Amino acid sequence: MIRNITLAVIVFAAALAYAQAVVGLAPSVDYLWLGAKWSQVPKFPGDVGVVTLSFYVSSQYVDVTISLDPKCGYVAPLEDVRLPSAGPGVVTANLKVLAYALNVTCPANAIFNARYKAVGGSLTDGVTKAEYVLLYVPPYPTYDVSARGTAYLGMPSRVTLVFKSPYSTASTATVQGQGVRVLSPSGQFSVNGTYAEVPLVVIADSPSASLVVSVQSRDWLGNPVLLTYTVPIAAAPAPPSVVYVSPTALSLNKYNKVNVTVQLPVEADGTAVITAAGAVMPQSSITIPISRGRGYAVLEVYPVSSVVTFTAQVTYQVAGVSRTEQISASAATQQTIGGLAKVEVRPPRLMAGVANNVTLSVSAPGAFNVSVAVANAAVDKPQPYYFGGVDKATAGLLVTPLSSQPVTFTVTVYHSAGTDQYTITLPVTSASIFTVIPTPSLVKSGGNRTVVVTVINSGDVAVQKAVVTISPATSNVVASTYTFQLGRVAPLESVLLPISFIVPATYSGAVAFTYNIIYTTELGTTGSSQGTFYLQALQSPAVNVTSVTVVPQFPEARRTFYISVTVVNKGFAPVTNLQVEASPPRGIRPVTAPIYFAGQLDPQQTANIPLSFNATAPGQYQIPLVISYTDQYGNFYTIPYTVTVTVSNGTRLFGPTRQGTPIQGGTGQLGLGGTPVVAGVAIAVAAAVVAVLYMRRRAKRA
């Protein structure tokens, strides 16, 4: 009876197939692989993406499993897709895939496995198809943004914005300033490739200046991506422009050739209009060009007073912003020696507010006496001062100018041939000639910090030697008083002085240091310069991992276990974007997403972050964890951690079973063991019971 039933079924199936072929009901394609594509791309190594696998089947299949079997170590599927039935038509499956690396290609097998095929009202054997896939893991836009250069306070300055990316990405960016004005670029600009430098023109308004850089890009699927970075920049006062004249001593009653040099603090182009007070020139003013921050001219002047002052009206542009300064320099005039005696006074100029060492050299025939009277200055000798000698004599005076007005020396020489009298006028220049700039101007709170202090000679005379003292002016930092000895420092030359100090972890704000510079110029004058410079201390978080617990301690294969990560913020500033990311190896599958986002963690607070996994086979596994977070300034931090998990062999419902193995590409064999096997056995038993009942009912009817 059973054989007759089987024969009838076979004949019926053959007749149905023949009828479909005759009337054209059978499709031309029974199965077609449509490909794999990303529907959600991973954003960073260790992130989870979604791959969509598509198939076309002409029939309905029952108990369908769609999986991905990678043949590389770059990706790992987190799950298989189980469908009660699929088809006829297009079948799609979205699989979560863990990407260990980006911008790589991984060969893989896409496996379509169906236990049964529905034919009419009955089920036949299913099908297993394995398709070869080259799965490309696309890159995701990310950048490391920094600034190079110094922005001068109140002056347009050029700063270079540097973009670095591990992947070649095409993006657009905009820049906004915090404590700084961005003059150009004023809108969006392109950032292409793995490295790009973008020149900016900015004006710093605060010593604590930063740039907010917004980068707009698209991921591999064309979805918009917005990235924001906060980039601190160094800000410092702008050094002044200076004008030099040579020689500094001019002769009366004749034309003198004078070399005039104008030096700007930046490499800019402009013009300088030069006039001379106390002298006659062929023209009332002379205009000279300034190229790359420097202008030069040779003037012919005829002194008509004791001091000739050269004034330069400087106009220049920096990135389209005009700036005008008025600077001056003076030259002394000396009476042409007409008598037998010769008089020389050194140096040719004096420094205001300090004691100047002045040397008078007098030569005359035979024995002579000299009388010296000084006006508009305090002298360490009684007035008038007398000295003498034979043929030649020298005297030293300590002269302190009483104001910025020139100092006049009246020298009368009494010798055997008569009396000669000379009037010599020396100009007085300012004593404040130093500019002090700290680098970097931003330091992290907590720990020992080192800063290089740049001392620039902004004056027009060289410093022969100097002693620099730097002391802390903020009580919240721990610092010593530093003393440095300097040698010769030419005009516009700089000296680098390193200092170290300790900033408490709880402090955030300005750090002030005072400096005192006692110096001697090459003219023999001594002076001092005092001032204050500031640094900005920024608090950085201190997140530590206190414990990592595995529950149960020795998990069983094919059973869920948990990893609990406890972190504490030991710093004094909150952190944001706190998350733990796991990169499970083969044999360990996450039950939930392997990335847990905890958000903000306040100071002196702890957070417990749970992760759940399932081990497919016993063994000892190393599970890498990465704890990441950002501080209040947008800086990104990571803490790597590795958890060792020992998985034991567990007991099964039907006794011990051999360990499950992953599906091998092209074989079409499903692994044994685990819940899928139990479900398969139950289905088989149920099918057998239904078949027996069906056969008995047919036998009774017969």
Write out pLDDT tens, residues 377-422.
989 888 899 999 999 999 999 888 888 788 989 888 888 877 788 8
Tell me the two tokens of residue 401: 């100018």
565 CB neighbour count, 10 Å cutoff: 22
Tell me the two tokens of residue 594: 């392997």
Tell me, yes or no, whether 696 lies in a domain: no
| CB 503 within 8 Å of CB 497 | no
Model confidence at 430, pLDDT cuts 50, 70, 90, reads low
246 & 330 share domain: yes
**Mean pLDDT of all residues in 580-599:** 87
Predicted confidence at residue 383, as pLDDT, reads 86
Q: Which of 334, 356, 378 is the last residue of a domain?
A: 334
The whole-model pTM stands at 0.47
Predicted confidence at residue 591, as pLDDT, reads 86
**pLDDT higher than 90, residue 447:** no
pLDDT digits (tens, 9 = 90+) for 257-283: 899 999 988 788 899 999 999 888 888
pLDDT digits (tens, 9 = 90+) for 49-86: 999 999 999 999 999 999 999 998 889 999 899 999 99
pLDDT digits (tens, 9 = 90+) for 458-512: 766 788 899 999 999 888 888 889 999 999 998 888 899 999 999 888 888 888 9
Q: Which of 507, 523, 538 is the last residue of a domain?
A: 538
Predicted confidence at residue 138, as pLDDT, reads 93
378 & 460 share domain: no
424 & 440 share domain: no
Predicted confidence at residue 685, as pLDDT, reads 37
Tell me, yes or no, whether 168 lies in a domain: yes
326 & 414 share domain: no
Tell me, yes or no, whether 119 lies in a domain: yes
Instruction: Indicate the number of domains in the chain.
Output: 6
Predicted confidence at residue 684, as pLDDT, reads 43
**pLDDT higher than 70, residue 8:** no
Report the range out of 362-376, 436-450, 660-674, 685-699 with the highest average pLDDT: 362-376
Predicted confidence at residue 320, as pLDDT, reads 67
Model confidence at 616, pLDDT cuts 50, 70, 90, reads confident
Model confidence at 373, pLDDT cuts 50, 70, 90, reads very high
Domain residues for 309? 242-334
State the pairing for strand pair 321-334/249-251: parallel
The helix-helix angle for 675-701 and 2-23 (nearest 10°) equals: 100
Tell me, yes or no, whether 671 lies in a domain: no
87 CB neighbour count, 10 Å cutoff: 20
Predicted confidence at residue 400, as pLDDT, reads 85
Rounded Cα–Cα distance for residues 512 and 531 (Å): 10
Tell me the two tokens of residue 332: 């002394």
For the purposes of burial, counting CB atoms within 10 Å of the CB of 568, is it exposed (0-12), middle (13-18) or buried (19 or more)?
middle
| CB 561 within 8 Å of CB 551 | yes
200 & 275 share domain: no
Q: Give me Rg for the CA atoms of the chain.
A: 44
pLDDT digits (tens, 9 = 90+) for 314-355: 998 776 667 888 989 888 887 655 567 888 888 887 877 777
Model confidence at 10, pLDDT cuts 50, 70, 90, reads very low
pLDDT digits (tens, 9 = 90+) for 287-302: 999 998 899 999 988 8
| Of residues 10 and 522, more confidently modeled | 522
Least confident of 111-115, 339-343, 646-650: 339-343
438 & 468 share domain: yes
| CB 665 within 8 Å of CB 130 | yes
Please provide the size of the chain in residues. Answer: 702
Q: How far is CA 66 from CA 51, 94, 405, 613, in A?
A: 12, 9, 95, 21
**Mean pLDDT of all residues in 185-205:** 90
What secondary structure does DSSP assign to 257-309, as a single string?
EEEEEEE-SSS-EEEEEEEEESEE-SSS-EEEEEBTTEEEEEEEEEE-SSEEE
**Mean pLDDT of all residues in 237-250:** 85
Q: What is the mean pLDDT of the chain?
A: 82
45 & 127 share domain: yes
Contacts of 549 (CB under 8 A, 6+ apart): 563, 564, 566
Predicted confidence at residue 453, as pLDDT, reads 93
**Mean pLDDT of all residues in 659-677:** 34
549 & 642 share domain: yes
Tell me, yes or no, whether 355 lies in a domain: yes
32 & 114 share domain: yes
State the pairing for strand pair 150-153/122-137: unpaired
Tell me, yes or no, whether 654 lies in a domain: no
312 & 386 share domain: no
Q: Which of 278, 301, 334 is the last residue of a domain?
A: 334
Predicted confidence at residue 272, as pLDDT, reads 93
| CB 106 within 8 Å of CB 75 | yes
Tell me, yes or no, whether 132 lies in a domain: yes
Tell me the two tokens of residue 288: 């000279």
Phi/psi of residue 90, each to 5°? -85, 130
Tell me, yes or no, whether 458 lies in a domain: yes
| Of residues 392 and 305, more confidently modeled | 392
Rounded Cα–Cα distance for residues 454 and 437 (Å): 5
Least confident of 8-22, 317-331, 599-613: 8-22
| CB 99 within 8 Å of CB 74 | yes
Q: What is the CATH number of the domain that holds 603?
A: 2.60.40.10
